[in-house]
Amino acid sequence: MTIENNPLLTKSQLPYLLPQWEKIKPEHIIPAVEFAMNAQRDAWEEIATNFNPATIENTVEAIEKAGEQIESVMNVGFTLISSIGGEELEKVEAELGPKITEHFNTFQLDDRIYRRLTSLDLSEADPETAHYVSEMIAEFERGGIALPAEAKDRLRKLDAQLSEAEISFGQRVVQAMSDNELVIEDPELLAGLSEDKIKSFTGDDSKIRLPLENYTNQPLQTELNHHDVRAQLLETSMDRGFGSHSGSDTRELVLTIAKLRAERAEILGYPHHSQAVAQSGMAKESEAILQLLLSVAQPAVAAAEVEARKLANMAREAGQSEPFTAADWTFYQEKLRAGLGLDDAAMAPYFLLENVVERGIFFAANKLYGISFVERPELPGYLPTVRTWEVIDEDGEGIALFQADFYRRKGKHGGAWMHEVVAGSAFDGTKPVIMNNCNFNEPKNGDPCLLTWDNVITVFHEFGHALHGMLTKTKYRSTSGTHVPRDFVETPSQLNEMWAFNPEVLAQYAIHYQTGEPLPQNLVEALATSKTFGQAFDTTELLASALLDQAWHRLSPSEIPSDVASFEKEALGEYGVYSEFIPPRYRSTYFNHTFGGGYDAGYYSYIWAEVLAADIENWFKTTAAIDGDGGLNRDAGTRLRTELLSRGNSRPPMDSFRALLGRDPRAEAILERRGLA
């Protein structure tokens, strides 16, 4: 293979520069990334050695232009690594990780480029460019540009080690989901599961393997009638990474990563890694993060204690002879939820995946933003099950492509996420190509894909991220869409969840896939009531993980413990969120958000961003509502699109929030939204 015939380095002739997925193989990725890195380094050197005074054109725009090819190649490579996975792509990821880290450190620690940026005259610059430059300068300074040469070398080595360890952790987490599947040989033990579901879990060897989701409590616990099987399923979920399978043991990696991050923070002059991360987000101070988390935790834990007594009584009254445990919580909570008239099995026929997407999220987007979606089957994805839509604005102009990969497969990363394949940028002349991934069970033999209510919320959530990427209107690729501070990025996605509950939207997508009958009115009303149902549990398990993330990253190098399990228990106890009935949403050993990188010391972002989302949701339902429509109107949508969704990081996100609501956010909004005020 030569560089000339590498499809990753050939500009796609497809609409919107959509990659020619069918031509791209794992063996193309490393040569393409290395070629693009070399080209970018040459461009950086040219910028750094330019003898002319720094200008926007020869410095800022030159830096942006230098990143176009490498980002294109990496976006496609990441898509294949995360969405397809497997041993071959894991090897690619492991080899590239340290090289990419070292590559970007070359830029981040280059004094010559830093000096050019700081010498710029921004008096005539447009506001977006001025903000972009100030953000770049701050990133240089946070990244150690002022360090002596010896410290910079140490930083480079630490970052390379971190990259290797984080990639290894992420791969072991994926492996642990297979290693820890609960094997059941007697189908009688699976009372509560449908025959179709049991059949889908049965392998060629006739053994039944219950698959694991990436978080702690498993959805199947709500259906399994046998206490012991529920307990076994939760136990095997919580045991991931703790050594029962050597190939997916992550304990040493947890300790190594925590220590490397603590050492890195120390070199940069921060008291701990949490403060280094806070500095780069909206929060700025890790103490402010901690106080927000604790302020939400207190009412959540108090409500959970009341709920625990209620559920334990319920278990006894139902004749359960075994003591009430964590494995029973979601089972009996689901019974309570059914008492509201809600039952996932009964509701599933009304939540056909195609309807939720095309008649739900697309309908709401059209009502709010005037955009419509036209399927483009002639524009394929990397697998036949990937679907493609063109996004058309109300003036008839195509503004983006949206691709979706909804199904679970072996090797695919767990959970759900959005990412950009092509970023929208006026400077590059590109329009966005945005992808959503989920992990729903792929139906067999033409069967329908029916969702739980939690699945429905997931689809709306991830599409909120997609809207952030598709509606972007920024000059630079680096300020577009979701290229925002990490503690702001979840705001549009959490906000978009509200439309799943909106009666007008619900009436469009919640229809029986066989009869076409709408979801019965009593269930519609019950869903509205259920919005705050179970929030004591949900909030406590989320906060336990967020505080665990903070605990690991508020340590100095000398404070790193020797035992992961003991540290977890002590940290959760210290923060007042330890509960024998509610384990953290993620334990350290499979907490990929934080130890796989990306949300390290940043899992608090979900709570921080929800404060903003909750306040905006309240605005939709009150100030922006017209004739009781809950804010589902073009005026409100246009305002949100103009002031927030289209802005990316072209200005400080808090400025976008203030432009939308005319004031600062109210911290109590999150408690109101979760029914914990």
Catalytic residues: 462
Q: Which two tokens stand for residue 463?
A: 């599409």
Compute the C-alpha angle 508/513/517, nearest 5°. 60
Alpha-carbon gap, residue 159 to 146, rounded angstroms: 17
Cα atoms in the Cβ-side hemisphere of radius 13 Å centred on 430: 29
CA distances from 254 to 338, 345, 362, 653 (A): 39, 38, 41, 32
Alpha-carbon gap, residue 205 to 580, rounded angstroms: 36
Backbone φ, ψ for residue 522 (5° rounding) = -65, -30
Alpha-carbon gap, residue 666 to 511, rounded angstroms: 37
H helix count then E strand count, the chain: 28, 7
Report DSSP letters for 156-176, one per residue. HHHHHHHHHHHHHHHHHHHHH
Q: Which two tokens stand for residue 254?
A: 């947890």
Sign of CA dihedral 547, 552, 553, 558: positive
CB-CB contact of 301 with 576 (8 Å): yes
Report DSSP letters for 107-175, one per residue. HHT-HHHHHHHHT---TTS-HHHHHHHHHHHHHHHHTTTTS-HHHHHHHHHHHHHHHHHHHHHHHHHHH
Q: Which two tokens stand for residue 79?
A: 């898509």
Alpha-carbon gap, residue 451 to 360, rounded angstroms: 13
Alpha-carbon gap, residue 237 to 445, rounded angstroms: 30
Q: Which two tokens stand for residue 423?
A: 């970023």
Alpha-carbon gap, residue 493 to 354, rounded angstroms: 20
Cα atoms in the Cβ-side hemisphere of radius 13 Å centred on 267: 23
